[in-house]
Structure 1
Amino acid sequence: MKRILITGANRGLGLELTRQYLERGDTVFAATRQPDSATDLHQLHTQYADHLHLIQLDVTNEASIEAARQVVAGATESLDILINNAGIFPGAGPEDPAKQNLGGLTAATALTFLNVNAVGPLLVAQAFLELLKAANKARIISLSSGQGSLTWKASGEPYHYSASKAALNMYMRALAAEVGTYGVISVLVDPGWVQTRMGGDTAALPPADSARGIVRLTDQLHAEENGSFVTWQGQPVPW
């Protein structure tokens, strides 16, 4: 049985990852900014009350991250997997800034995306590192995007989203160099174009397929893959 912390677990891919880990008998700490209103998580909790813990966590708030760490540390002595899933995309939700095209760019919007998509995951990984180090061969999985690949980038918008994912890639590449000395494996994963509120209804990939691939990939990681950037199917993504 694995102990897993998933950020942004209340919807989309985070919710599907939570469901699949619960179905196989793992314990999941499902983190979301507003757990009281996370209807789907509460429904899962009625079925998996002994294995699902709802955690309040805002990845942009350091006090919230520390409070979440204390709650998780009070429930377990170690974490096997951290999945940095929480993120925003232009206009994907009512709270997600939409201005991403040239002529409408602002510094405030840029910082919002960087805080949520790049800095937040790094601070979460830092806060939970001691719990990860206490496990055997723990993994940090940070969900990136092909939009964050300099090689693949061939369009203008979304400027801030793409830059935030490129920043996430650098943060987690740097993190991997350090945590690898503790036996922790940190990788970046492009989950594909998924049928979620972020990906839209026209996306090609059902959340269940992407989640299944990420779960399989996480289980099969080896130390030499630390610091890599791959697709949900395990194929290399160019930086």
Structure 2
Amino acid sequence: MKRVLITGANRGLGLELTRQYLERGDQVFAACRHPNAATELQALQLQYPDKLILLSLDVTDEASLAAAHELVDAHAEALDILINNAGILPGHPGAGLGDDPATQRLGHLRYQDAMQVLATNAVGPLLVTQQFLELLKKGRKSRIVNISTGLGSLTLKASGSQYHYSASKAAMNMYMRTLAIEAGHDGLVSIMVDPGWMRTDMGGTGAALLPADSARGIIRLADQLHAEENGSFVTWQGKPVPW
């Protein structure tokens, strides 16, 4: 049995990862900002009362991080897997940045939007990992999976859109690659994963990839990671992504 912490677990990929880890018998700490309003997570908790623990977590809030850590520490002596999945995309549900697409275009970009996206998508995963680092060090071959995107690749970036989102994911890649080097000395393996263009609230209905397929690939990746892959950037199928 693995002990797994997943952020942004209330919908989309995070919810599917939670479901699949539970189905195979793992203990899951599912974190999101408002678990009491996460109806699908609540239903899973009824189905897996001994395996699923819901956490209230805002990855940009130090007090929230500390409280979540205290709860996990009370239920588990260690963590084996951390999946940094929480993230926001301006103009989409849950972003809290308004729905006006004009604010995401050159000439209308706003400082406050940039800071919120960078705080959540880039700094958040770093601080979550830092908060739970000691529990991860006590785990069995612990792995850290950071959900990135091809939009965060400087090489692949080919569109004049998603300024804040793309920049935040590129910044997250650098933060977590840097962390991978340091945490690697303690035997931890950390990778960045492009989960693909999925049919979720964030990805939209035009996407062909189902969250269940991406989640299955990511879980397989986490299970099969080796030390030499530490700090790498790959797709959900394990193929290298250019930085």
For 1:5-20, list aligned pairs within 5 A: 5-20=5-20
The residue that corresponds to 2:193 in the other structure is 189
The residue that corresponds to 1:163 in the other structure is 167
* Equivalent position amino acid for 1:76 in 2: A
* Equivalent position amino acid for 2:69 in 1: R
Deviation at 1:92, TM superposition (A): 1.4
* Equivalent position amino acid for 1:60 in 2: T
Count matched residues.
239
The residue that corresponds to 2:87 in the other structure is 87
Distance across 2 between alignment mates of 1:236 and 1:96: 33
Distance across 1 between alignment mates of 2:16 and 2:62: 26
Q: Deviations over 1:18-50 (max 9, x none)?
A: 000000000000001001111000100111000
Distance across 1 between alignment mates of 2:186 and 2:119: 27
Would you say the 8 A contact 2:88–2:94 is kept in 1? Answer: no
* Equivalent position amino acid for 1:174 in 2: T
Q: Which runs of 4+ in 1 moved over 2 A?
A: 94-99
Q: 1:235 aligns with which of 215, 233, 239?
A: 239
Deviation at 1:94, TM superposition (A): 5.0
Would you say the 8 A contact 2:18–2:30 is kept in 1? Answer: yes
Q: 1:143 aligns with which of 141, 147, 167?
A: 147
Q: 1:153 aligns with which of 152, 157, 175?
A: 157
Secondary structure of the 1:186 match is: strand
Q: Give the TM-score taking structure 1 as reference length.
A: 0.98
Which 10-residue stretch deviates more, 83-92 or 20-29? 83-92
* Equivalent position amino acid for 2:109 in 1: L
Would you say the 8 A contact 1:77–1:134 is kept in 2? Answer: yes
Secondary structure of the 1:233 match is: coil
Q: 1:132 aligns with which of 133, 136, 142?
A: 136
The residue that corresponds to 1:31 in the other structure is 31
Secondary structure of the 1:234 match is: coil
Secondary structure of the 2:157 match is: coil
Distance across 2 between alignment mates of 1:177 and 1:232: 22
Taking only aligned residues, the RMSD between alpha carbons, in angstroms, comes to 0.8
Would you say the 8 A contact 2:152–2:170 is kept in 1? Answer: yes
The residue that corresponds to 2:61 in the other structure is 61
Distance across 1 between alignment mates of 2:96 and 2:206: 19
The residue that corresponds to 2:109 in the other structure is 105
Deviation at 1:90, TM superposition (A): 2.0
Deviation at 1:95, TM superposition (A): 3.6
Which 10-residue stretch deviates more, 92-101 or 126-135? 92-101
Secondary structure of the 1:155 match is: coil
- Percent identical: 67
Would you say the 8 A contact 1:89–1:96 is kept in 2? Answer: no
Q: Does 1:120 find its partner at 2:128?
A: no
Q: Deviations over 1:135-160 (max 9, x none)?
A: 12100100000000000001111100
The residue that corresponds to 1:175 in the other structure is 179
Q: Give the TM-score taking structure 2 as reference length.
A: 0.97
Distance across 2 between alignment mates of 1:125 and 1:228: 17
Q: Which runs of 5+ in 2 are unaligned?
A: none
